[in-house]
A = this chain, B = another copy of it.
């Protein structure tokens, strides 16, 4: 029996709780599947906040918002980020006035960030605000930011110096070769209050197929998180790399230029100290042995989520492991 406090509210002790670590579109897709496969409220998602940035005077939390929009059924699933049919009047008008407007933030998306900013200024925690937003969007699953403290991913590139995450990812379209990634503020940051209880109290923990360096690493780097995962008997990680490539985003390229290695097994190596099971794509069977050599149980599943049904199928297969 597990219990989780979010803003002093005790979730009714569910029989089985699943906690997932996530960031980005790959994470959002699997969370949609888990949200559908589980009873309402049985899923807690711990979401990366290293991508957060103050842009246009508002606190943008790209990973929290991607996850919320996907779970709420509001996401632009073709584009991956943002809200379907959102307009871009503010950033386009700003651009016409001569303002820097490379970060495409839709008008509804802007309002989410503005709400977050207003509440932060009024003294609310990111955890509390995230819970407000998921409830306003009618999301049953619990969303927890990895930390209520300020952590900022910085990308050290070979050609363009050290960039803020959004400069690297959006302005430079993830093109500069990455030498290193650092998490500013990580030494002073604590996991958000619900993070460790959500891991410790979960019957299983799933690492979503998110970028291991940019989405998962900033969560793992928070004090106590890695240890809680090591102590957990059922941690399942899903590869974001299929046949040497990331389905979306720069994960494979970053792993190569940072010397982490290639292929799904290179991701498994990053998680080998705490992952009990590592899921590679069923088309990638040569990775199974490499994962096994790391002392991690390898499993092959169809990990490619082209639609919500595929997400739900993968989620059910993971829950059946």
Chain A residues in the interface with B (C-beta under 8 A): 56-58, 86-87, 89-94, 96-100, 107-108, 110-112, 114-115, 117-119, 121, 132-133, 136
Inter-chain contact A90/B115, CB cutoff 8 Å: no
Q: A87 to B107, Cβ gap below 8 A?
A: yes
Across-interface contacts of A96 in B (CB, < 8 A): 111, 136
Q: Are the CB atoms of B89 and A118 closer together than 8 Å? A: no
> This chain: how many copies in the complex?
2
With A89-B89, A111-B90 known as contacts, the answer to whether A133 contacts B97 (CB < 8 A) is: yes
A90 engages B117 (CB within 8 Å): no
CB proximity of A231 to chain B, nearest CB, Å: 37
Give the 9 A-B residue pairs with the shortest CB-CB distance, closest first.
Answer: A93-B111, A89-B107, A97-B115, A94-B111, A93-B108, A99-B115, A57-B57, A90-B111, A97-B136
Q: Which interface residue of A91, A111, A136 has the most chain B CB atoms within 10 A?
A: A111
Give the nearest-CB partner of A86 in chain B: B89
Provide the bound-state CA to CA distance between A136 and B93, in Å: 11
For A90, the chain B residues whose CB sits under 8 A away are: 90, 107-108, 110-111, 114
**CA distance in complex: A107, B111 (Å):** 10
Chain B hits for A92, CB < 8 A:
111
Known interface pairs A57-B117, A90-B110, A98-B115; 15 further A-B residue pairs with C-beta atoms within 8 A, sorted by A's residue number: A56-B118, A87-B89, A89-B111, A90-B108, A90-B111, A91-B111, A94-B111, A94-B114, A94-B115, A97-B111, A97-B112, A97-B132, A97-B133, A99-B114, A107-B107
Contact of A93 among B57, B112, B121 (CB under 8 A): B112
Q: Which of A86, A107, A117 neighbours the largest number of chain B CB atoms within 10 Å of its CB?
A: A107
Per the bound structure, the CA–CA distance linking A146 and B86 in Å amounts to 38
6 A-B Cβ contacts within 8 A? A57-B58, A87-B89, A87-B107, A89-B111, A90-B110, A93-B111
Contact between chains at A108 and B89 (CB < 8 Å)? yes
Closest to A133 in B: B97
Docked pose: A90 CA to B111 CA in angstroms: 5
Kindly provide the distance from the CB of A171 to the nearest chain B CB, expressed in whole angstroms.
Answer: 16
